[in-house]
Amino acid sequence: MTRTPVLYVERFSVFQRFIHLLIILSFLTLAVTGMALKFATEPWADWIARVGGGFEVLGALHRFCAVITFFYFFLTMILLYTSWKESDKDLFEFIFDPEGLVPNLTDLKEMIGTFKWFFGGKRPYYGHWTYWEKFDFMAVFWGIAVIGSSGLALWFPEQFSRLFPGYWINIATIIHSDEALLAAGFIFTIHFYNTHLRPEKFPLDPVIFVGSVPLEELKHERPREYDQLVASGELERIVTRRAPAAWLRRLATVFGLFVVTTGSVLIVAIILTMFKYIQHN
């Protein structure tokens, strides 16, 4: 009996995967070191500091990863610029491309459709980016703007207080600390659930590491994109029989599971600590 070969389609280029790897490494380290500083009196934070070589080392690691954050933000700008130049669209058309990354009315309809689907309706006709993926992408921008600018104020308080009154440093600490809590809470629960932990993907979707998805998966998950590729004749050009290398898949699984587990454990520690604080107040 001859087996039908599995076909694949590239979803993420090497450059996109590299940027996302920088995001994972820097964000996870920023969250672990930052939360250990925020909850420094807790035993788990003390354990992180002991493993990491002390609170001073955590502070230095935090600043190093902040630099990586600004670096990947810059790379993302280059990626967007080159994608625009490679498209045959003007800037307005590129930004507001119905299949692009900026949310539009279709996303609102698909969001409502998704909630209906949860209660027995039909699965929405998703395209290349779903509404929750677009939200995640936009969150990088406001997250970096808010956390990054307040973090710079904490890093360079003297320079900052030459421009703004000194009490703004206290405000920057609150903004930084609470927006960071929100960001970590969102990424380690909602983003992890949507991407890896929902039943269709559990325990991990390796696509952001290996780059390509089986064609059948694309057809099922993103039917609008599949139909568009078929209608434009592009599918034949991009489809390949080359599966992601076995070593890459294995590495992706081990690394991915390590990151998902670390983020999940951190969020459980934070939630338990918050409950403890509520009980004590």
Number of other residues whose CB lies within 10 A of the CB of residue 257: 13
| Residue 83: closest CA among 125, 136, 126, 129 | 129
Give me the least distance between CB of 219 and ligand HEM, in Å please. Answer: 36
Q: Which pair of structure tokens corresponds to residue 269?
A: 């520690």
Let me know: does 147 contact 180? Beta carbons within 8 Å. Answer: yes
- The C-alpha atoms of residue 30 and residue 75 are separated, in whole angstroms, by 19
- The C-alpha atoms of residue 59 and residue 66 are separated, in whole angstroms, by 11
- The C-alpha atoms of residue 99 and residue 45 are separated, in whole angstroms, by 43
- The C-alpha atoms of residue 9 and residue 234 are separated, in whole angstroms, by 11
Binding-site ranges for ligand HEM (CB under 6 A)? 27, 30-31, 34-35, 37-38, 59, 62-63, 66, 69, 147-148, 151-152, 154-155, 173, 176-177, 180, 183-184
Give me the least distance between CB of 257 and ligand HEM, in Å please. Answer: 21
Which one, 152 or 260, has the nearer CB to ligand HEM? 152
Looking at residue 277, its amino acid is Y
Which one, 177 or 253, has the nearer CB to ligand HEM? 177
Give me the least distance between CB of 185 and ligand HEM, in Å please. Answer: 9
Which one, 151 or 256, has the nearer CB to ligand HEM? 151
Query: CA angle 250-256-260, nearest 5°?
Result: 150
- The C-alpha atoms of residue 272 and residue 144 are separated, in whole angstroms, by 27
- The C-alpha atoms of residue 255 and residue 261 are separated, in whole angstroms, by 10
Q: Is the previous residue joined to 124 through a cis bond, with omega within 30 degrees of 0?
A: no
Which one, 212 or 273, has the nearer CB to ligand HEM? 273
Give me the least distance between CB of 86 and ligand HEM, in Å please. Answer: 29
Which one, 66 or 210, has the nearer CB to ligand HEM? 66
Alpha carbon distance, N-terminus to C-terminus of the chain: 69
Give me the least distance between CB of 58 and ligand HEM, in Å please. Answer: 7
Which one, 48 or 180, has the nearer CB to ligand HEM? 180
Give me the least distance between CB of 267 and ligand HEM, in Å please. Answer: 11
Give me the least distance between CB of 250 and ligand HEM, in Å please. Answer: 29
Query: CA angle 226-230-234, nearest 5°?
Result: 100
Which one, 126 or 188, has the nearer CB to ligand HEM? 188
Which one, 37 or 75, has the nearer CB to ligand HEM? 37
Give me the least distance between CB of 26 and ligand HEM, in Å please. Answer: 8
